[in-house]
Structure 1
Amino acid sequence: MIPKNSFPTALRTLRKSRGLSQEAFSEVSSRTYMSSLERGLKNPTLSKVDELCEVMEVHPLTLLALAYGLDAKGADKVLARVQRELAAVQDGQDA
């Protein structure tokens, strides 16, 4: 289970690491909405996550791995697990 504050923290961390202000998302979200996301008051849809990640020029899985991993090191573990699970899906399709 993902801790309640990890998506907001991951979003803020990633946004700041890209040198972006909340206003940089004005074509896809208002500053108020961004603030609400970063404070954990609202939850974005998958399509909104995709739009936000386009502004940050990262793949949506980068944001989600950071949220689930809680930091960059933990994100590596999350991505390794995803790779194993995808390989198992592929192996199941090949059988």
Structure 2
Amino acid sequence: MSVRTAFATALKVLRKKRGLTQEALSGNITQSHVSQIENGKTSPSLEAIIELARTMELSPVALMALVCAAQDELTASDVLELAKKDLQSISLLKVAIPLEVEAKPHPGVAAAAKTREKVQALKEKGFSQADIARELVMAESTVRRHWHRQD
């Protein structure tokens, strides 16, 4: 069974189980869009899936467990158990995922920052640009560039 068909089936079952009409499901989603989803004519976006689940007072995971169960001819319990094992196997079952991944500077940017720190430290000790170039074994033009930057 295709994912689109599985989603259509699961959505219809859930909507009827909750005693809701397509119109009642349509908060930020139009009734015609709900109808198209239930008839397998379109697939919902991630935002629509979350909106539909919340309108039915379910977690999006519960909705998707039913969709996956329908697609793979399993029970929702089987799907959730498999998901739990998958997350355990990669050590992410009991880990909160941060909203933003810590940005690491490009290696070239990090290297330039270290060079600038060295140049500025030697400048503060009274070294000339030529002395710093010899000390750090780099071109004087590179020293000049870092000499005048104060990031």
Q: How high is the TM-score relative to the length of structure 2?
A: 0.55
Post-superposition shift, 1:87?
A: 0.7
Post-superposition shift, 1:82?
A: 0.2
Using the alignment, how far apart are the partners of 2:26 and 2:86 within structure 1?
36
Post-superposition shift, 1:64?
A: 1.1
**Which of 1 and 2 has greater Rg?**
2
For the aligned residues, what is the CA RMSD?
Answer: 1.6
Alignment of structure 1 residues 2-81 onto 2, 5 Å:
3-4=1-2, 5-70=5-70, 74-81=75-82
Post-superposition shift, 1:27?
A: 2.1
Q: Which range moved further: 24-33 or 43-52?
A: 24-33
Gaps of 5+ in 2: 93-151
Q: Which residue of 2 aligns with 1:82?
A: 83
Gaps of 5+ in 1: none
Using the alignment, how far apart are the partners of 1:65 and 1:39 within structure 2?
19
Aligned 8 A contact 1:10 1:67 in 2: yes
- The answer to which structure, 1 or 2, has the higher relative contact order (CA under 8 A, 6+ apart) is 1
Paired positions, count: 88
More helix, by proportion: 1
Q: How high is the TM-score relative to the length of structure 1?
A: 0.85
Between the aligned residues of both structures, percent identity stands at: 35
